[in-house]
């Protein structure tokens, strides 16, 4: 009998790798690790061995743990005038946004150590077999789909920033990125993956790759060998809370995404009247909660004036921990992708990863694009280069698991920078309060409110939208679904039946 399971990811090849691992007897954790390696080839802007992320794991015995392999700020900071750090402008079509790249934007990567630690603790298949699909794909080449080509266009100044990166992403053509339908190859990355499968994470943090990375960084980067040799994966207890009898597990502090989702759901519980899905009351309440949650990120007096009635968890323990462990840390909000897997034994893996947008530089001879997490504008209100040394960066990434009171298990997460928390909030409410099925909950239109600006996806009643726009003068109606509103990839099992949904906003696939 074929094994059962569910996989959702941001690319057909990423999802296929996870499915194939499950088919040969691997568990959800094997599948997530293998899928991440493949994502580094199939989704090269959003996933990289030079980035970081989180995986929330729940075993068949319902034991859960959070693997934090996110990036760390360097142990020593160079003077701003001594680093390679420059702005570029990314063009999203409807809007333009400035990012900063260069070797001075690179934080200590955690991906490689994270994947090997997850495999060591939870995997059952040999690592060589998990890396093999990515190696084969990197050598054979990947045909670019429309979504990946769109991402390339958005960050084209980064992909063309250095000759090494340009060679990969143009296929050797001068200044002209590969387009949808064309094939991209990662020959050096294939060699690197092969070496890692043989030698392990030590190669990246102590061995040849570590020394290549540090040598490159001497031309204006903060990273030194001690940053790599001292990097550790953190295995934590997830943030757990109750929402209408459903148990929700998510990313705990020092990351902020999970705690803000918990905070918002607590507000929803205490403030909810009797809205119908898509009516003015529903959307106005969502926007009010988003506004309060935005303020919660900035306000050190969280208990005052927010109308909480969620008990000690929300008013005391959770918010006190938020203030102590999140406020003041360097934040990373950028490009992300997500993988959700549930296997035949009902082990659950939900993994969100990021490389920022990439720093523009490839580690010589490796094919690895390093992150640009220190180039985040959100690092410090007083400007760049104000981050604290040797500290785990906080993130909006919030891989989550819902153990519903009817016995169903849902694994979900999203990319989408600061829209991660509002995307997941809306999908959870759609499922748990409006009783929408998984596919419907994800595909429903979304709203996002931040910095006094309201963004709305088309699909709601026009009268409701017009009424909202009368209340919120700064607004934008998005006529089509867009990656701006996140990309919730989710897997679910209920009464032995499996389901997977990939969010079309971010090229998602469910198998």
Q: Is 116 helix (H, G, I), strand (E, B) or coil?
A: helix
Q: Is 67 helix (H, G, I), strand (E, B) or coil?
A: strand
- Rounded to whole angstroms, the Cα distance separating 354 from 360 reads 15
CA dihedral angle for residue 422, residue 299, residue 74, residue 71, rounded to 10 degrees: -20
- Rounded to whole angstroms, the Cα distance separating 328 from 378 reads 11
CA 86 to chain centre: 24
Q: Which two tokens stand for residue 190?
A: 């294939």
Residue 367, CB half-sphere, CA atoms under 13 Å: how many? 22
Neighbours of 352 (CB within 10 A): 30
Q: Beta strands 453-457 and 475-478: pairing type?
A: parallel
Residue 89 parent element (H or E): strand 86-91
Instruction: Collect all residues with Cβ–Cβ distance below 8 Å to 466 and sequence separation of at least 6.
Output: none
Catalytically annotated residue among 170, 336, 366, 422: 336
- Rounded to whole angstroms, the Cα distance separating 273 from 72 reads 43
Whether 78 and 104 have beta carbons less than 8 Å apart is answered as yes
**Ramachandran assignment for 451, one of left (phi > 0), alpha (psi -120 to 50 degrees), beta (any other):** left
162 is catalytic: no
Crossing angle, helix 28-42 and helix 127-140, to 10 degrees? 20
Q: Which two tokens stand for residue 304?
A: 């005052």
- Rounded to whole angstroms, the Cα distance separating 87 from 73 reads 20
Q: Is 90 helix (H, G, I), strand (E, B) or coil?
A: strand
Q: Which two tokens stand for residue 493?
A: 């099992």
Beta strands in 276-399 (DSSP E): 331-332, 336-342, 348-354, 362-363, 368-369, 394-395
- Rounded to whole angstroms, the Cα distance separating 220 from 20 reads 42
- Rounded to whole angstroms, the Cα distance separating 224 from 337 reads 28
Under DSSP, the state recorded for 9 is: E
Active site residues: 336
């Amino acid at each position: 009998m074929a094994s059962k399971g569910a996989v959702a990811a941001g690319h057909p090849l990423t999802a296929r790798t996870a499915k194939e691992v499950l088919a040969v007897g691997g568990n959800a954790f094997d599948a997530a690790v293998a899928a991440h390696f493949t994502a580094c080839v199939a989704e090269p802007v959003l996933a990289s061995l030079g980035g970081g992320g989180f995986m929330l794991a729940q075993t068949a015995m319902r034991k859960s743990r959070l693997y934090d392999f996110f990036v760390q700020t360097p142990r020593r900071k160079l003077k701003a005038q001594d680093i390679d750090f420059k702005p570029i402008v990314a063009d999203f079509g409807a809007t333009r946004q400035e990012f900063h790249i260069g070797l001075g934007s690179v934080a200590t990567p955690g991906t490689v150590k994270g994947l090997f630690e997850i495999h060591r603790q939870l995997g059952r298949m040999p690592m060589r077999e998990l890396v093999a699909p990515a190696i084969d794909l990197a050598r054979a080449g990947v045909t670019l789909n429309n979504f990946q080509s769109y991402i390339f266009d958005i960050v084209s100044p980064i992909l063309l920033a250095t000759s090494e990166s340009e060679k990969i992403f143009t296929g050797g053509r001068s200044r002209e990125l590969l387009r949808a339908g064309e094939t991209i190859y990662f020959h050096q990355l294939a060699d690197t993956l092969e070496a890692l499968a043989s030698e392990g994470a030590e190669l990246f943090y102590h061995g040849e790759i570590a020394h290549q990375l540090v040598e490159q960084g001497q031309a204006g980067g903060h990273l030194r060998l001690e940053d790599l040799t001292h990097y550790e994966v953190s295995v934590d207890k997830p943030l757990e809370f109750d929402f209408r009898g459903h148990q929700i597990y998510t990313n705990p502090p020092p990351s902020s995404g999970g705690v803000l989702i918990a905070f918002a759901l607590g507000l929803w519980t205490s403030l909810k009247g009797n809205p119908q899905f898509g009516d003015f009351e529903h959307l106005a309440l969502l926007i009010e909660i988003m506004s309060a949650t935005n303020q919660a990120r900035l306000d050190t007096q969280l208990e005052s004036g927010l109308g909480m009635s969620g008990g000690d968890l929300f008013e005391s323990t959770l918010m006190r921990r938020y203030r102590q462990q999140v406020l003041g840390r360097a934040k990373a909000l950028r490009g992300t992708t997500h993988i959700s897997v549930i296997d035949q034994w009902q082990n659950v893996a939900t993994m969100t990863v990021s490389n920022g947008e990439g720093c523009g530089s490839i580690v010589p001879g490796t094919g690895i694009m390093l992150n640009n997490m220190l180039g985040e504008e959100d690092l410090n209100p007083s400007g760049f280069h104000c981050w604290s040394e040797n500290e785990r960066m906080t993130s909006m990434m919030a891989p989550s698991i819902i153990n519903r009171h009817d016995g169903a298990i849902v694994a979900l997460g999203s990319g989408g920078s600061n829209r991660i928390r509002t995307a997941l909030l809306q999908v959870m409410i759609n499922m748990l309060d409006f009783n929408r099925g998984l596919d419907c909950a994800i595909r429903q239109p979304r709203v996002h409110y931040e910095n006094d600006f309201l963004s709305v996806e088309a699909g709601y009643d026009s009268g409701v939208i017009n009424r909202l726009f009368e209340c919120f003068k700064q607004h934008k109606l998005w006529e089509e679904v867009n990656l701006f509103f996140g990309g919730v990839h989710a897997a679910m099992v209920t009464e032995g039946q499996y389901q997977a949904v990939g969010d079309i906003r971010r090229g998602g696939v469910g198998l």
